[in-house]
Amino acid sequence: MKILLIEDDREAASYLMQALDECGHNTHHAADGETGYAMASGMSYDVLIVDRMLPRRDGLSIIESLRAESDQTPALILSALGEVDDRVQGLRAGGDDYLVKPYAFSELLARIEVLARRSSPSEAQTQYQVGDLTLDRLSRKVERAGEAIVLQPREFRLLEYLMKNAGRVVTRTMLLENVWDYHFDPQTNVIDVHMSRLRAKVDKGHAKQLLQTVRGAGYMIRD
pLDDT digits (tens, 9 = 90+) for 130-153: 999 999 988 889 999 999 999 999
SS3 151: coil
**In angstroms, how far is CA 215 from the centroid of its own chain?**
20
The domain ranges of the chain are 2-121, 125-221
**Among 9, 73, 5, CA closest to 35:** 5
Q: Which long-range contacts (CB under 8 A, 24 or more apart) does 102-109 make?
A: 103/78, 105/16, 105/19, 106/173, 106/177, 106/183, 107/183, 108/16, 108/49, 108/76, 109/19, 109/20, 109/23, 109/173, 109/174, 109/177
Asked if 115 contacts 76 with a C-beta cutoff of 8 angstroms, the reply is yes
Q: Is residue 111 predicted with pLDDT exceeding 80?
A: yes
Q: Is residue 24 predicted with pLDDT exceeding 60?
A: yes
Q: Is residue 122 predicted with pLDDT exceeding 60?
A: no
Q: Which fold has domain 2-121?
A: Rossmann fold (3.40.50)
How big, in percent rounded to 5, are the helix, strand and coil portions of the chain?
40, 20, 35
Whole-prediction pTM value? 0.55
**Among 163, 162, 189, CA closest to 174:** 162
Q: What is the pLDDT of residues 160-178, one digit of tens each?
A: 999 988 888 899 888 988 8
120 pLDDT tier (thresholds 50, 70, 90) = low
**Among 204, 141, 218, CA closest to 172:** 218
Res 123: pLDDT: 47
Round to whole Å and give the CA distance between 111 and 76: 8
117 pLDDT tier (thresholds 50, 70, 90) = confident
Q: Is residue 215 predicted with pLDDT exceeding 70?
A: yes
CATH class of 125-221: mainly alpha
Res 43: pLDDT: 86
